[in-house]
Amino acid sequence: MTESDIHTLEALAHYTRGVVTLCYIFWSFLLRRYRKRSRMMRLLYAASVLISIGYAKDILFTFDSLKYSAYLNSLSRLTDIVYVPVLAAFFLEVVRPGKVTNRQLATAIAIQFSFVPAFIVWPSQIVECAAELVAYSISAATVIGLTIFAARYRRLMYDNYSYTENIDVQWVLFSCYAYFGTNVLYSLSFRETTWISEIIFNLTGVILWSVIFVFARRHRVLKMFLARKDKAREGDAPTEPVDSLCHQGNPEEESAKDDNPDNHTDAQNGIIRQERDRIIALRLQQLMEEQKLYLLPKLSIVDLSVKIGTNKTYLSDYLNNSLNTTFHEYVNRFRIEEACTMMDAMTKPHKRTMADISMKCGFNSISSFNRHFRKVKGVSPRDYMLERLRETEVSQEA
């Protein structure tokens, strides 16, 4: 590679870095509008500001007298990675709201930042290695924790919600893996980086942050997954009012008795549960068939349990153990059957679009409708509709 080519790549690297700097500053201004929406957005805003500052300070390296200073490069690197705990807290906040407290976050930031003054006082490679070790540890713990918490989050989401749009967390898994992966690779090659790797890193950062910004702005945090409520929610006793379906006499007295499992023998508990499940089954079937609550796009298990007159603990127990299904699957089966009824009655002159059918059946998107229809019926909704139209034409000709 000629010297002219090297200068061209260097100029391009500085240009892309300038563009990235402007992008982060722009995102910081945009995120400022959303920071009051949730703690997740506040953390993203804080991370964006820190990254913007990190990129903005690198304008110093455009001066030839500072460009090749090993001391300033190392100090810059230590300053850059201060944002790692904030971004890690953001990723975890999406899948486990409240898991990282403000005190824990402040402690992590203080530890990460402490290496900056330490390096100023003692400019040693030991300080650099220690700082990077802390950043790597935080990144690794975040990736592992995120993987575990996301699996639990999605399981609870499918058990309690009939839709996934803007509440699913697949995007944060991809973003976390990609973001920390590229940062680790760049960090490992930091001392021997080339202008080409600098350009690639800058462009990759813009793309990944764009993905994070777009999905985070759309994402709706589910308050039911707050970490501080997990212990109470996962306890042996129900955390919500005891179901009034099976009460006779004074509801408050019966509720107090039912709250304490020691007041019943195994046989009595079994009878109570059977009677409760029987009444839940009757009312659930009645509500779904007569009032067609499944047509509500954002129906949740809490909404349905209130309509029945029970709580989500008992309703979830009935669906999981008696019907061997989740709330998500149970509701979507009714929606699929509604769609089939609509297509069975359809004629060619009055044919509807799949988007129209999916919306009228309670689905939030055509992709979700197609996916669940194929899962239940084994064919796509379009193929099902065409087959029904052909059968209608044949019967009319006959």
CATH at 73:
1.20.1070.10
Residue ranges in 161-241 assigned as alpha helix (H): 170-188, 195-218, 230-233
The dihedral sign for the CA sequence 328, 331, 335, 337: positive
Q: Same domain for 178 and 282? A: no
Joined tokens for residue 370: 């197609």
Last-in-domain residue among 297, 317, 337: 317
Last-in-domain residue among 317, 347, 371: 317
What is d(CA 326, CA 331) in angstroms, rounded to the nearest whole number?
Answer: 9
Write out pLDDT tens, residues 145-166.
999 999 999 888 887 888 888 8
Contact by Cβ (8 Å): 58, 52: no
Q: Which domain holds residue 373?
A: 325-398
Write out pLDDT tens, residues 96-140.
988 899 999 999 999 999 999 999 999 999 999 999 999 999 999
Please name the amino acid found at residue 343: M
Q: Closest Cα partner for 369 from 340, 326, 345, 398?
A: 340
What is d(CA 241, CA 251) in angstroms, rounded to the nearest whole number?
Answer: 11
Instruction: Write the CB contacts of 11 (distance below 8 Å, at least 6 apart in sequence).
Output: none
Q: Same domain for 267 and 170? A: no
Quote the number of domains for the chain.
3
In a domain? residue 167: yes
In a domain? residue 112: yes
pLDDT of residue 172: 94
Contact by Cβ (8 Å): 348, 390: no
Q: Same domain for 61 and 183? A: yes
pLDDT of residue 6: 66
What is d(CA 226, CA 301) in angstroms, rounded to the nearest whole number?
Answer: 17
In a domain? residue 396: yes
Last-in-domain residue among 282, 317, 352: 317
In a domain? residue 236: no
Contact by Cβ (8 Å): 213, 31: yes
Q: Same domain for 214 and 299? A: no
Instruction: Write the CB contacts of 219 (distance below 8 Å, at least 6 apart in sequence).
Output: 40, 94, 166, 167, 169, 171, 172
pLDDT of residue 231: 42
Segments in the chain below pLDDT 70: 1, 3, 5-7, 62, 64-67, 187-193, 223-268, 396-398
pLDDT of residue 249: 35
Q: Same domain for 111 and 17? A: yes
**Which pTM does this prediction carry?**
0.74
Angle at the Cα of 260 (from 255 to 265), degrees rounded to 5? Answer: 110
Instruction: Write the CB contacts of 33 (distance below 8 Å, at least 6 apart in sequence).
Output: none
pLDDT of residue 233: 42
pLDDT of residue 238: 37
Q: Closest Cα partner for 40 from 199, 196, 205, 171?
A: 171
C-alpha count within 13 angstroms, C-beta hemisphere, residue 78: 26
Tracing tokens 């659930």 back to the chain, one arrives at 284
Q: Same domain for 47 and 176? A: yes
Joined tokens for residue 44: 């993203």
What is d(CA 7, CA 158) in angstroms, rounded to the nearest whole number?
Answer: 54
DSSP letter for each residue of 277-298: HHHHHHHHHHIIIII-GGGSTT
The dihedral sign for the CA sequence 162, 164, 168, 174: positive
Q: Same domain for 200 and 300? A: no
In a domain? residue 235: no
Provide the 10 A C-beta neighbour count for residue 14: 18
Q: Same domain for 257 and 213? A: no
Q: Same domain for 15 and 98? A: yes
Q: Closest Cα partner for 10 from 165, 195, 155, 140?
A: 195
In a domain? residue 234: no
Contact by Cβ (8 Å): 52, 213: no
Joined tokens for residue 232: 């109470």
SS3 (DSSP) at 173: helix
* Radius of gyration of the chain measured on its C-alpha atoms: 28
Q: Same domain for 313 and 329? A: no
In a domain? residue 173: yes
Q: Same domain for 392 and 309? A: no
Q: Closest Cα partner for 51 from 15, 27, 75, 16?
A: 27
Number of H helices, E strands in the chain: 19, 0
In a domain? residue 158: yes
Joined tokens for residue 319: 């669906």
Q: Same domain for 196 and 254? A: no
Please name the amino acid found at residue 9: L
| CATH code of the domain containing 382 | 1.10.10.60
